[in-house]
Amino acid sequence: MMNKLILFVLVSIFLGCSSNNANTSNDLDIENITIELKDTINLNGSPNLVVEKGQLLYYDFEALPSADLRSEFSISDDKIVKHQKTEQGYVNYNSTDDGSDRIKGKYIFKAIKKGKTILTFTVFLHGEIQNETKIEIEVN
């Protein structure tokens, strides 16, 4: 779990530091995210949820590497809910425009086995916690 978190932070830093051409191919196409969201539960704004085993869940996040704004998550018991993948991309990226390195993304999880766990989503600005959201998930 910690390895995935470290990998995400390193990828976020790399994306923020890479010098891409002003090219809309780096833009996130919100309509074509590779997971099918119609049967997936959005965790944003939910303090507690009861879901069925096998259910997919997602949490929307944003980051702004040039301002050292980033997002991380943790799972209190990843035997109950597992991180499947993170999808992210630039929104209107322009390498010559400060502040155009805004990233939108989704953390995608799957309910694996019965039990309770807590997902914690933390937003950092300049290394300090700006916001923390805890969501209790019960898997039936």
Q: Is the pLDDT of residue 68 over 50?
A: yes
Question: For the chain, what is the mean pLDDT?
Answer: 79
The SS3 assignment for 61 reads strand
List, in sequence order, the alpha helices (H) in the chain: 2-17
Element (H or E) spanning 115, and its range? strand 115-125
Q: For position 46, which CATH number holds?
A: 2.60.40.2020
Q: What is the pLDDT of residues 111-139, one digit of tens each?
A: 999 999 999 999 999 999 999 999 999 99
Q: Give the Å distances, CA to CA, from 59 to 21, 83, 95.
A: 29, 11, 27
Number of domains in the chain: 1
Distance CA 139, CA 6 (A): 27
- Angle (CA) 87 89 91, round 5°: 140
Residues spanned by the domain of 117: 2-139
Distance CA 54, CA 52 (A): 6
Higher-scoring residue by pLDDT: 107, 15: 107
Q: Is the pLDDT of residue 60 over 90?
A: yes
Distance CA 119, CA 17 (A): 29
CA proximity to 71, closest of 122, 137, 127, 14: 122
Q: What is the pLDDT of residues 20-57, one digit of tens each?
A: 333 334 444 444 444 455 678 999 998 899 999 999 99
Higher-scoring residue by pLDDT: 12, 139: 139
The pLDDT score that the predictor gives to residue 66 is: 84
Higher-scoring residue by pLDDT: 19, 140: 140
Mean pLDDT of 86-110: 82
Element (H or E) spanning 40, and its range? none
Distance CA 97, CA 118 (A): 38
Model's pTM, two decimal places? 0.70
